[in-house]
Amino acid sequence: MPHTHLDASITIQAPAQRVFDRIGDLSRFNDWNPFPSMDPTTTSNHEGPAFGPGAVFNYEGKRLGKGRMEITTVHAPHRIDIDMTFWRGHSETRSKAAFIIVAEGGVTEVHWTFDEDRGVGMYLLGKLFFDRMMTNTFRGGLETLKSLVEAESRG
């Protein structure tokens, strides 16, 4: 199966630990989650711990479908790995996401990555339509995250 890798990034004027703490707290994910704006019917909930392995974020919407994010590993303050599951009708798709956090002096570079194996048809559709839209959506979420973290850092 062809493999898809998406990567959106942004630079945040804040220490890596502060960025890491905000990203890893799934109980606060909707503060910067870019997807509900695409589907106003979306409902979501958080289960398990707020932070770290076992933290889960569930969502469901008419347009977005049903999905689940679960933090599987953390390497503070540099990386958060997430298992993703998406349901559409009777089909289930599994993917991986990660937040990679790179400290450079007083600024932090954040990458939101997404990896998925797809059938050839979905791979081609992704390359033509879906992947650019998803990367832009990730970037929008990262821009909101940047605004939140920088405001919190100021005070």
> Could you tell me which CATH number the domain at 3-154 has?
3.30.530.20
87-136 pLDDT, tens digit each: 988 889 999 999 999 998 889 999 999 999 987 877 777 787 788 999 99
Pairing status of strand 3-12 against strand 43-47 = unpaired
**Residue 126 parent element (H or E):** none
% of the chain beyond a pLDDT of 70? 99
Q: What share of the chain is helix, strand, coil (3-state, %, to 5)?
A: 35, 45, 20
- Mean pLDDT, residues 64-74 taken together: 96
Task: State if pTM tops 0.75.
Answer: yes
